[in-house]
Amino acid sequence: MHGYHCEYCQDTVRARVVKRGAFRHKTQFVILEDMTTGICDTCGNRYYSADLVRSVHDIATGAGTGSVWFFLILMFL
């Protein structure tokens, strides 16, 4: 997930470990820590692997089977 060009600015995307990332899934947020993601050197756009996106979905829907620590923050509208 690194070494390719950003779709917005054409600079290089590199893999980096992000301390904490929040993902919105329907009416809640999933917060993951120490995840590897692709980040553009210039504009900062983030690129997520399909495995990471699937993990977020599994955690949010309760379908995950692994031992993953997570927090669900419900949004009250």
Q: Can you give the pLDDT at residue 67? A: 46
Tell whether pTM > 0.85. Answer: no
Listed by start position, the domains of the chain span 13-74
Q: Can you give the pLDDT at residue 10? A: 95
| Among 38, 21, 20, 33, residue whose Cα is nearest residue 68 | 33
Q: Can you give the pLDDT at residue 66? A: 52
pLDDT in tens, the chain (77 residues): 568 899 999 999 999 999 988 888 888 888 888 999 999 999 999 999 999 898 888 888 887 655 455 454 455 44
